[in-house]
Structure 1
């Protein structure tokens, strides 16, 4: 044989095998690098993986776990964005804003929800999207004590924040307490516990947590700030899509509707928060075990059931309305009869019937409706009847809207009789539910606890 001699068959096979496995190794390394470092080209990585990874600090103004999903302003906004991109949404919590920043910088998340003003110096190494919210930074103080003027007081701020620098320069006589890895809860606790005279917290964060801090009140505005999503410095392509999306939802009213639904209104004004705290201490202990027992029977969060009871009667077992509904869960005669209740004034029977009735409605909501929309639609039907909610879903679908999302269905529900009352009812129950989550920390979520959960939508 002329030319190069042929390799023995075994050597040829070994050579092919080595090259094959080397090729697979290269492919694996390239894929792993692409997957583990998505911020090199995050939009392509999101499309390739089919997943949008978001990290943020859990709370009533961002997202909270609910069933196998989550709820909250940011959750619904990000869910819409993921739908637009045609990918799954995966949310992971972090204990504080600094942790969120580090995860985005390391490429462990595509978008970070820090809750910090977009001009905060700690965000200098990240890019900010167009704002999703404009809020006022406020000084918060105790309402039941004399407090020094801010220029000579103890003021708690987040460490290395824009407010810390501004207050140090503008109020040199003040004692600026810089709290490391501060959450809104940690800053408010400084004032609540007497370790500071004031705390700087944005208005939205304070209002959402006021039920847990009834002795605090807003004292004075500091400045107006913009809140935005945070992305990696090199992530221009995803930023462009995020900005276009935020511009669109602002233009079509989605942002405004979300902010309204997840806002606090006047529920926890000075009188409202005082009454809620009194009832939390004086009435809830009488019925807590009953709420827990009936909720457990239906694999339901007892605080949601308790929130319904509070909206119905303020946990007053003897409540009677002018229209004849009665008891802690304010049952009509017909509903009580259907649920097998002989005495509507019996709180245990009332709670049992309320839980049963809620579950009866929930089971008749189509399976395509997922959380948290399922809870909102069930609550609306609990208040005004299932037929109205199903009709609103039909109207939404006919108009080209999503019949499985509460934000769309609620718009069409407004066209029906008694809709205003039902829409307020859903919002109020949600607010009380959030308040119970914050004020019963030994029984579940509390933002500053640093608990972690993952949501896949």
Structure 2
């Protein structure tokens, strides 16, 4: 199919440019069969989730764009931001997709695609140190930032009003490495983007936001400037299409929808238990992962949410063990001892897989997993009630972001009287899934992922199509 798409596109372009021997930028991409995208590593950009399986907001967006062109994707990770921008100019990269802030200075050097998100620059410091109140109140603290970044551009502008403002530009480190230096108390401050810090704060429980350094700023893909606008026009058309189809909203929800207020005590606790408790059960999570086709770190995140990896945990309602199985579920899954961690892990993962399989086949990932988790927590019947309410209220009954807005209605008489299974504490599965997604992020980051990008990457699933009724 990809070869057919590429061939048809080339034929169309050939007809359009028959009288002109000069190939456009888009022509060259289609002829070589590869889109080259410069990016950065990290959960919000590009990382290796499991060996050979890549993920990240920018990666999925770029992969989907490559699919629409009928070409392969080559993700390139330059040594630093300066090299990334240079790669656009010399043609080694077609697009820079790395959470780039659209600034007036950068607009003079490159062409930006449509805005797809926005961020605020924030000053980060370490818990226990004196919190600065504004950018002019850093005292003798050492501020280190990424060289040639939008953060440095903003500081240069501020320096006109605050002549004493100073910083150290780092040409080698990325945001995550600078945050690590603050955690180790090797520097005092850095500046990072709000969504990036919110996504990775779980890995740096001692770090805090002191204040916003800037107003909200737009994010967009960067392209080389010049008279050739063929690729730019294709990017503009692509973003218009994914906005209309809801693919962009779905992707934003997948990566940022679960980010909530930072819980310092809880985050410190999971970091301790990753070292003290997780090693005892890690091999069993991996075994359950291979049997039931879940990422083992997701299973570990579920177990942490359920019991904090305590195999003898018991709740007030009588659920018990590492995966907090009810007596009925344990019997159904053949468990003879709910406090046996191996039995609990294998049964819990098998039961979650059963919830996933019982959902309508049309529901795509990752919504399918989030819905299965909600069913694991509240029951498949109550989840189906929430899906029907979601559809009645004009939402998508197969999309987690819509269902989680309607689940709390199951606790309101006006709504649960309309359902088959009646009252339920619908807010609980919303918190449950959000917590698991946050713990999962922490476990992913704990692997200290540093991917080596391959030249060709298998494409992910495409956007959702029109959906039939929930039932």
- What TM-score results when the alignment is normalised by the length of structure 2? 0.72
Secondary structure (helix, strand or coil) at the match of 2:208 reads strand
What is residue 230 of structure 2 aligned with on the other side?
237
- Answer yes or no: is the 8 Å Cα contact 1:317–1:346 preserved in 2: yes
- Answer yes or no: is the 8 Å Cα contact 1:129–1:239 preserved in 2: yes
Deviations 1:177-228 (A, max 9, x none): 2111432212212212222210010111111111111111011111132211
- Answer yes or no: is the 8 Å Cα contact 1:60–1:208 preserved in 2: yes
- Determine the C-alpha separation between the residues in 1 that align with 2:180 and 2:305: 28
- Determine the C-alpha separation between the residues in 2 that align with 1:46 and 1:385: 49
What is residue 452 of structure 2 aligned with on the other side?
451
Secondary structure (helix, strand or coil) at the match of 1:262 reads helix
Deviations 1:48-103 (A, max 9, x none): 677655442232222444466544433454466556x4646635251544454344
Worse-superposed segment, 122-131 or 72-81: 72-81
What is residue 73 of structure 1 aligned with on the other side?
57
Task: Label 1:193 to 1:75 Cα distance change in 2 as closer, same or farther (>3 A).
Answer: same
Shift of 1:435: 0.9
What is residue 7 of structure 1 aligned with on the other side?
none
Task: Label 1:429 to 1:99 Cα distance change in 2 as closer, same or farther (>3 A).
Answer: farther
- Determine the C-alpha separation between the residues in 2 that align with 1:51 and 1:388: 46
Task: Label 1:132 to 1:60 Cα distance change in 2 as closer, same or farther (>3 A).
Answer: same
What is residue 439 of structure 1 aligned with on the other side?
446
Q: Does 1:210 align with 2:210?
A: no
- Determine the C-alpha separation between the residues in 2 that align with 1:59 and 1:90: 18
Worse-superposed segment, 215-224 or 94-103: 94-103
Q: Does 1:222 align with 2:213?
A: yes
What is residue 27 of structure 1 aligned with on the other side?
none
- Answer yes or no: is the 8 Å Cα contact 2:36–2:76 preserved in 1: no
Task: Label 1:397 to 1:111 Cα distance change in 2 as closer, same or farther (>3 A).
Answer: farther
- Answer yes or no: is the 8 Å Cα contact 2:259–2:434 preserved in 1: no
Shift of 1:294: 3.3
What is residue 112 of structure 2 aligned with on the other side?
128
- Determine the C-alpha separation between the residues in 2 that align with 1:99 and 1:248: 31
Shift of 1:123: 7.1
- Determine the C-alpha separation between the residues in 2 that align with 1:439 and 1:378: 25
What is residue 139 of structure 1 aligned with on the other side?
123
- Determine the C-alpha separation between the residues in 2 that align with 1:387 and 1:432: 26
Task: Label 1:246 to 1:299 Cα distance change in 2 as closer, same or farther (>3 A).
Answer: closer
- Determine the C-alpha separation between the residues in 2 that align with 1:267 and 1:275: 16
- Answer yes or no: is the 8 Å Cα contact 1:97–1:114 preserved in 2: no
What is residue 154 of structure 1 aligned with on the other side?
142
Worse-superposed segment, 110-119 or 97-106: 97-106
What is residue 21 of structure 1 aligned with on the other side?
none
Shift of 1:422: 4.2
Secondary structure (helix, strand or coil) at the match of 1:150 reads coil
Flag the structure with larger Rg.
Answer: 1
- Answer yes or no: is the 8 Å Cα contact 1:121–1:160 preserved in 2: no
- Give matches, 1:11-50, under 5 Å: 41-44=24-27
Shift of 1:146: 3.7
- Answer yes or no: is the 8 Å Cα contact 1:120–1:161 preserved in 2: no
Worse-superposed segment, 388-397 or 227-236: 388-397
Shift of 1:436: 0.5
- Answer yes or no: is the 8 Å Cα contact 2:395–2:402 preserved in 1: no
Shift of 1:134: 1.3
- Give matches, 1:404-443, under 5 Å: 408=399, 410-411=401-402, 421-441=428-448
Q: Where does structure 2 lack aligned partners over 5 or more consecutive residues?
A: 1-13, 411-423, 461-471
- Determine the C-alpha separation between the residues in 2 that align with 1:200 and 1:356: 44
Shift of 1:130: 2.2
What RMSD, in angstroms, separates the aligned Cα atoms of the two structures?
4.2
What is residue 469 of structure 2 aligned with on the other side?
none
Secondary structure (helix, strand or coil) at the match of 1:178 reads strand
- Determine the C-alpha separation between the residues in 1 that align with 2:248 and 2:452: 28
Q: Where does structure 1 lack aligned partners over 5 or more consecutive residues?
A: 1-30
- What TM-score results when the alignment is normalised by the length of structure 1? 0.74
